[in-house]
């Protein structure tokens, strides 16, 4: 029925977007293969949005594959599990894939090669009979976060607030960035895992309809999914082919394409009754709920200048250099190493950084294999307006650029800076090669920093004022005490004088009497 309805309503278009060279076929020639077990696993505590996890193990502990080694610190957080069996040799700061190039706390495990699993959790008989909240707990304990790139804890996204109905659950298999093919290969090879995860998610969300969105440049994936749907008899799940245009796979753009509705500014997809999950996440949910396996591995595309581009199933914590080696290294001079795609990825500063839950692609950029045309020195903006033409959020990139560049943090927010999804379309088309997105990223983080500083200043002001008030009060109290004492001592003196006079009088009287008596 849903498909009939969809057939009546053609797909919608989002504003702008760009057509990019795909570079997808290089890494889809070989099937997915498990990567070799690395000697050392470096597992960061913060691989997701939210609070970093808290370690549960100490240096020297033996750990088993799948054992939780750090627990979620908050509601928006995720636990971390040992990807293989071995010994914890360090809990320390190590370089992680982050644009700052800094280090962050990691648990380092020396693997023993046994791949010995922990006692697996007894599986619930059937998730369909389970309460959605119980199901969410299971997914949360498996450490599952969005594998599409953002890394938002999945259990939180599977928990629509009371009173919010989920009309459509969209599985995102669009994968629009050049070079990245991990979702494509997953859909081709493991469509049943994805569908099984989809059913679990649908149950947890109680969603009305389900759609799997795939860009139309992945015919094999679409066919595999459709076949699996037929085989499983899931007639109400529809595979929708969306046009290949970057960024079709961005959450808000995909929702617009499928439903025709826009996610409100500062809002969430659930506000318009939509929840969107990545196909890789669905596969991870399937493994957690039906096999009892936590999230300890993921599929990673190793592409660009490597000798043998391909997809590997990689244990979380495997260093990048192990994977580059497994793909027979980089023949040319490595210019830079990117985690993610050429448009939205972040450059890492060393190949020692580990694969984390959100690592979908490792892109080796060499002189010979430049993902995007070489960008020269930035020249002044000529106000051509092409950035506006391609902006999928219909923002005014030029205006944002002026204000971000001038550090006018108030003005830049008036032009909806925080609606920018940092897709890089404006960068890509800019004839002056201005690194626009970098300016927006700077402005966003600078605004957050300013907000934190203001909060801190307000706290200091309140404490300073409270202290002034206290000092003032103490001074008053001291003065009052002094005055009281002075008054008291005055009274006392008067009393003493009176007393002395009284005594003197009495004495006089008595003395006089005596005298008189004496005289008598």
| Smallest gap from residue 74 Cβ to another protein (A) | 13
Which among 27-35, 267-275, 441-449, 486-494 is the span making contact with another protein, rule CB under 8 A? 441-449
Q: Please tell me whether residue 473 binds another protein under the rule CB under 8 A.
A: no
The only residue of 74, 394, 458, 472 in contact with another protein, by rule CB under 8 A: 458
Alpha helices in 377-435 (DSSP H): 386-390, 397-405, 409-414, 425-429
Q: Please tell me whether residue 467 binds another protein under the rule CB under 8 A.
A: yes
Identify the helix (H) or strand (E) that includes residue 248: none
* SS3 call for 302: strand
Q: Which residues pair with 246 in a beta bridge?
A: 18
In 393-494, DSSP assigns E strands to none
Residues within window 345-384 making contact with another protein, judged by CB under 8 A: 378
The smaller minimum CB distance to another protein, of residues 467 and 486, is found at 467
Q: Please tell me whether residue 100 binds another protein under the rule CB under 8 A.
A: yes
Q: Is 372 exposed, middle or buried (0-12, 13-18, 19+ CB in 10 A)?
A: middle
C-alpha distances out from residue 8 to 11, 34, 260, Å: 10, 43, 13
Burial pattern 122-160, b for ≥16 Cβ within 10 A else e, equals: eeeeebeebeeeebbebbbbbbbbbbbbebbbbbbbbbb
Q: Please tell me whether residue 452 binds another protein under the rule CB under 8 A.
A: yes
Q: How many CB atoms lie within 10 A of CB 448?
A: 10
| Smallest gap from residue 358 Cβ to another protein (A) | 14
Total binding residues toward another protein, as defined by CB under 8 A:
34
Strands laid side by side in the 237-242 sheet = 237-242, 209-215, 168-173, 274-278
| Smallest gap from residue 478 Cβ to another protein (A) | 15
Q: Please tell me whether residue 433 binds another protein under the rule CB under 8 A.
A: no
The smaller minimum CB distance to another protein, of residues 100 and 266, is found at 100
Distance CA 412, CA 357 (A): 33
Q: Please tell me whether residue 216 binds another protein under the rule CB under 8 A.
A: no
Alpha helices in 159-306 (DSSP H): 182-189, 191-205, 219-232, 251-259, 279-290
Q: What is the x/- site pattern for another protein, positions 15-54, by CB under 8 A? A: -------------------------------x--------
The smaller minimum CB distance to another protein, of residues 50 and 269, is found at 50
Identify the helix (H) or strand (E) that includes residue 325: helix 320-326
The only residue of 18, 104, 272, 381 in contact with another protein, by rule CB under 8 A: 104
| Smallest gap from residue 447 Cβ to another protein (A) | 10
The only residue of 39, 134, 379, 461 in contact with another protein, by rule CB under 8 A: 461
Range 230-235 contact pairs with CB under 8 angstroms and sequence separation of 24 or more: 232/192, 232/195, 234/195, 234/199
The smaller minimum CB distance to another protein, of residues 368 and 457, is found at 457
Q: Please tell me whether residue 468 binds another protein under the rule CB under 8 A.
A: yes
The only residue of 15, 62, 98, 411 in contact with another protein, by rule CB under 8 A: 98
Q: What is the x/- site pattern for another protein, positions 249-288, by CB under 8 A? A: ----------------------------------------
Instruction: Return the closest-CA partner of residue 390 out of 424, 419, 417.
Output: 424
Residues that bind another protein (CB under 8 A): 46, 96, 98-100, 102, 104, 378, 405, 407, 435, 438-439, 441-442, 444-446, 448-449, 452-453, 456-461, 463-468
């Amino acid at each position: 029925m849903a498909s009939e309805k969809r057939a009546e309503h053609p797909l919608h278009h989002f504003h702008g977007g760009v057509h990019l060279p795909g570079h997808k076929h290089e890494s889809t020639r070989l099937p997915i293969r498990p990567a070799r077990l690395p000697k050392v696993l470096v597992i960061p505590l913060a691989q997701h949005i939210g609070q970093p996890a808290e370690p549960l193990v100490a240096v020297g502990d033996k750990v088993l594959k799948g054992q939780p080694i750090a627990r979620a610190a908050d509601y928006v957080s995720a636990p971390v599990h040992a990807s293989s069996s071995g010994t914890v040799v360090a809990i320390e700061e190590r370089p992680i894939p982050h644009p700052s190039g800094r280090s962050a706390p990691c648990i380092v495990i020396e693997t023993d090669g046994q791949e010995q699993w922990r006692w697996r959790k007894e599986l619930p008989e059937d998730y369909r009979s389970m309460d959605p909240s119980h199901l969410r707990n299971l997914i949360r304990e498996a450490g599952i976060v969005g594998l599409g790139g953002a890394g938002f804890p999945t259990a939180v996204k599977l928990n629509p607030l009371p009173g919010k109905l989920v009309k459509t659950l969209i599985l995102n298999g669009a994968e629009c960035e050049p070079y990245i093919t991990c979702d494509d290969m997953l859909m081709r090879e493991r469509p049943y895992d994805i569908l099984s995860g989809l059913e679990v998610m649908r149950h947890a969300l109680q969603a009305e309809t389900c759609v799997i969105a795939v860009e139309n440049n992945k015919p094999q994936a679409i066919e595999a999914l459709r076949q699996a749907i037929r085989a499983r008899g899931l007639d109400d799940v529809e595979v929708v082919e969306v046009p290949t245009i970057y960024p079709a796979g961005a959450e808000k753009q995909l929702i617009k394409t499928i439903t025709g509705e826009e996610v409100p500014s500062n809002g969430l997809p659930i506000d318009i009754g939509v929840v969107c999950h990545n196909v890789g996440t669905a596969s991870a949910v399937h493994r957690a709920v039906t096999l009892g396996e936590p999230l300890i591995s993921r599929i990673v595309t190793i592409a660009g200048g490597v000798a043998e581009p391909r997809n590997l199933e990689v244990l979380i914590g495997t260093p990048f250099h192990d994977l580059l080696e497994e793909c027979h290294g980089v023949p040319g001079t490595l210019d830079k190493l990117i985690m993610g795609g050429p448009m939205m990825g972040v450059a890492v500063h060393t190949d020692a950084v580990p694969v984390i839950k959100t690592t979908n692609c490792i892109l080796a950029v060499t002189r010979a294999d430049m993902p995007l045309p070489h960008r020269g020195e930035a020249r002044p903006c000529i106000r051509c307006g092409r950035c506006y033409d391609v902006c999928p959020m219909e923002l005014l990139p030029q205006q944002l650029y002026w204000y971000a560049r001038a550090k006018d943090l108030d003005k830049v927010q008036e032009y909806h800076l925080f609606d920018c999804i940092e897709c890089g379309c404006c960068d890509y088309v800019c004839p002056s090669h201005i690194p626009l997105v970098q300016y927006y990223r700077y402005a966003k983080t600078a605004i957050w920093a300013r907000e934190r500083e203001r909060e801190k200043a307000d706290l200091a002001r309140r404490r300073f004022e409270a202290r002034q008030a206290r000092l003032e009060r103490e001074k008053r109290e001291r003065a009052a005490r002094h005055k009281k004492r002075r008054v008291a001592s005055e009274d006392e003196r008067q009393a003493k004088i009176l007393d002395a006079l009284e005594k003197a009088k009495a004495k006089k009287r008595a003395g006089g009497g005596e005298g008189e008596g004496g005289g008598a």
